[in-house]
Structure 1
Amino acid sequence: MRVSNRKRVMVTGGAGFLGSHLCERLLKEGNDVLCVDNFYSGTKDNIVHLLGNPHFELMRHDVTFPLYIEIDEIYNLACPASPVHYQWDPVQTTKTSVLGAINMLGLAKRTKAKILQASTSEVYGDPEVHPQKEDYWGHVNPIGIRSCYDEGKRCAETLFFDYYRQHDLDIKVVRIFNTYGPRMHPNDGRVVSNFIVQALRGEDITIYGDGSQTRSFCYVDDLIEGFLRMMASDHEVTGPINIGNPKEFTIRQLAETILKMVGGQSSLILKPLPQDDPKQRQPDITVARNTLAWEPQVALEEGLQKTIAYFRECLTR
Structure 2
Amino acid sequence: MGVDLGRERILVTGGAGFVGSHLIDRLIGKGHDVVCVDNLLTGSKRNIDHLHGEPRFEFMRHDVTFPLYIEVDRIFNLACPASPVQYQRDPVATTKTSVHGAINMLGLAKRLKCTILQASTSEVYGDAQVHPQTEDYWGNVNPLGPRACYDEGKRCAETLFFDYRRQYGLDIKVARIFNTYGPRMQINDGRVVSTFVVQALRGEDLTVFGDGRQTRSFCYVDDLVEGLVSLAETPDGVTGPINLGNPVENTMLELADLVLALTGSRSRLVFQPLPEDDPRQRRPDISRAQSTLGWTPGVPLAEGLKRTIDYFDTLLSAGSPDIAEPEIRAVS
TM-score range, shorter chain: over 0.9
Q: Match of 2:11, SS?
A: strand
- Percent of aligned pairs sharing the same letter: 68
CA distance in 2, matches of 1:76, 1:254: 30
SS of the counterpart of 1:59?
strand
The one-letter code of the counterpart of 1:176 is I
TM-score by length of 1: 0.98
Unaligned runs of 5+ in 2: 1-5, 319-332
What's the offset of the Cα at 1:264?
Answer: 2.1
Q: List aligned pairs for 1:12-51, cutoff 5 A.
A: 12-51=13-52
State the match for 1:135 in structure 2.
Answer: 136
Q: How do 1:286-305 residues align onto structure 2 when only pairs under 5 Å count?
A: 286-305=287-306
Q: In 2, distance between residues paired with 1:162 and 1:60?
A: 29
3-state SS in 2 of match to 1:46:
helix
**Deviation (angstroms), 1:234:** 1.2
Q: How does 1:223-302 map to 2 (within 5 A)?
A: 223-302=224-303
State the one-letter code of the partner of 2:104.
N
- Tell me which stretches of 4 or more aligned residues in structure 1 moved more than 6 Å: none
Deviation at residue 51 of structure 1 after TM alignment: 1.7
In structure 2, the residue matched to 1:205 is 206
Paired residue for 2:90?
89
Tell me which residue corresponds to 2:177. 176
Matches of 1:43 and 1:33, distance apart in 2:
17
Task: Quote the residue 2:165 is aligned against.
Answer: 164
| Separation in 2, partners of 1:51, 1:284 | 39
1:265 Cα deviation from its structure 2 partner: 1.3
Give how far 1:119 is off.
0.1
Matched AA of 1:18: V
Aligned length: 313
Paired residue for 1:214? 215
Cα distance in 1 for residues equivalent to 2:224 and 2:108: 25
CA distance in 1, matches of 2:7, 2:33: 6
Separation (CA, whole Å) in 2 of partners of 1:92 and 1:43: 18
- Distance in 1 (CA, whole Å) between partners of 2:125 and 2:109 is 27
Residue 187 of structure 1 corresponds to which residue in structure 2? Answer: 188
2:151 is the alignment partner of 1:150: yes
SS of the residue 1:298 aligns to: coil
TM-score normalized with structure 2 length = 0.94
Task: Give the secondary structure class of the aligned counterpart of 1:194.
Answer: helix
Partner of 1:9: 10
Q: Deviations along 1:64-118, whole A, 9 cap, x unmatched?
A: 0000111111000000000111000000000000000000000000001110000
Larger RCO: 1 or 2 (CA < 8 Å, sep 6+): 2
Give the whole-Å Cα distance in 1 for the aligned partners of 2:21 and 2:187.
Answer: 16
CA-based RMSD of the aligned residues comes to 0.5
